[in-house]
């Protein structure tokens, strides 16, 4: 089945929440089930929002700077360790800030949906990192295991505050799990098997040049429920450098392998590989338009 939906993984490099929501709503008039606030301002670079809070805590001290990852463009990342005399169980995490930001953004969402800018039925999407990402990305190896549990508790407490403030029927929660395609199939299967509630959606990374059938083959082993929405990163960050015909081949590989799953053929949607927070601001409108262009060319309603 051809793609019919659109998903946003979080960040969008535009000035503020209202601009993000207006641009998405005007440029992609169909297929949007959830709308992000764009993680604008201090949240623009994923876990750096948390790293900045960690660096200001008296419980930790500097252990230098993290070594850059080969081939990955990242801002300078501090490496932290527990301060002298501080045990992991004694750490007092601050307000992590997500619930406050999402409460503010929801008010913008509600106003724009009430005035018709955002379509009825679209939900407000909140994004959280897994506890592992900020801890493993910031602390020396010997301190990570001791900090994971208490940070996880703080992260879930923040989510609980957001859920207590916002109407559940109008919101969605995304957990950011940054792994490659084959591993994400395994993660999706494990989460589906263990979850005590329905899992509404998963999004899968697809490098823009990837058209090898072997890359998509693990998808045949997917065991999510038939009603779980699936999104694949067929929206390239650099469309001018993508070979002609790549998207059509990617669509064919996805359809072929979804047909082999236990749920059989199903509708699915498109997204970018990650967020759009690190895309040049001038390029964001073009990327948003590209979502619509791909649906028009390859989608269910073409």
Residue 292 dihedral angles phi and psi, to the nearest 5°? -65, -40
Torsion of CA 24, 118, 177, 48, to 10 degrees: 70
Query: Of 37, 46, 30, which Cα lies nearest the Cα of 15?
Result: 37
Q: Are 11 and 46 in contact (CB under 8 A)?
A: yes
Band the pLDDT of 302: cuts 50, 70, 90: low
In angstroms, the CA 31 to CA 18 distance is: 20
Q: What is the mean pLDDT of residues 61-80?
A: 78
In angstroms, the CA 294 to CA 234 distance is: 8
CA pseudo-torsion sign 271, 273, 274, 280? negative
Angle at 185 between CA 179 and CA 189, to 5 degrees: 120
Band the pLDDT of 72: cuts 50, 70, 90: low
| Residue 25 confidence (pLDDT) | 97
| Residue 195 confidence (pLDDT) | 94
Residues above pLDDT 90, as percent of the chain: 83
| Residue 71 confidence (pLDDT) | 60
92-111 CB burial, b ≥16 within 10 A, e <16? ebeebebbebbeebbebbee
In angstroms, the CA 46 to CA 50 distance is: 8
Q: Are 203 and 233 in contact (CB under 8 A)?
A: yes
- Cα 47 to Cα 44, 62, 74, 154, 259, distances in angstroms: 9, 18, 11, 15, 36
Q: What is the mean pLDDT of residues 236-242?
A: 94
In angstroms, the CA 181 to CA 187 distance is: 10
Count Cβ atoms below 10 Å from residue 21 Cβ, excluding itself. 26
pTM of the shown model: 0.92
Q: Are 158 and 99 in contact (CB under 8 A)?
A: yes
* Tens-place pLDDT, residues 103-133: 999 999 999 999 999 999 999 999 999 999 8
| Residue 178 confidence (pLDDT) | 77
- How far out from the chain centre does Cα 239 lie? 21
| Residue 69 confidence (pLDDT) | 61
């Amino acid at each position: 089945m051809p793609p019919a939906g659109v998903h946003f993984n979080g960040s969008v490099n535009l000035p503020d929440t209202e601009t993000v929501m207006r641009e998405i709503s005007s440029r992609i008039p169909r297929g949007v089930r959830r709308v992000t606030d764009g993680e604008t301002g201090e949240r623009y670079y994923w876990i750096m929002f948390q790293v900045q809070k960690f660096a200001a805590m008296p419980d930790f001290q500097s252990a230098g700077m993290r070594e850059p990852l080969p081939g990955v463009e990242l801002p300078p990342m501090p490496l932290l360790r527990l301060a002298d005399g501080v045990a992991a169980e004694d750490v007092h995490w601050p307000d992590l800030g997500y619930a406050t930001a999402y409460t503010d953004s929801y008010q913008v969402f509600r106003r724009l949906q009430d005035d018709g800018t955002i379509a009825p039925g679209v939900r407000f999407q909140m994004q959280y990192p897994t506890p592992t990402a900020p801890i493993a990305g910031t602390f020396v190896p010997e301190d990570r295991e001791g900090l994971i549990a208490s940070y996880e508790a703080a992260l879930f407490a923040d989510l609980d505050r957001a859920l207590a403030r916002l109407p559940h029927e109008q919101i969605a929660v995304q957990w950011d799990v940054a792994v490659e395609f084959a591993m994400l199939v395994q993660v999706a299967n494990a989460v589906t098997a263990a979850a005590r509630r329905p899992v509404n959606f998963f999004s899968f990374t697809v490098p823009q040049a990837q058209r090898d059938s072997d890359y998509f083959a693990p998808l045949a082993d997917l065991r999510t429920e038939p009603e779980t929405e699936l999104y694949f990163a067929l929206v390239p960050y650099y469309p001018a450098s993508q070979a002609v015909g790549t998207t059509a081949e990617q669509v064919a590989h996805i359809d072929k392998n979804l047909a082999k799953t236990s749920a059989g053929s199903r509708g699915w949607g498109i997204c970018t590989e990650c967020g759009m927070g690190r895309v040049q601001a001038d390029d964001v409108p073009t990327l948003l338009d590209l979502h619509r262009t791909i649906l028009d060319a390859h989608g269910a309603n073409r």
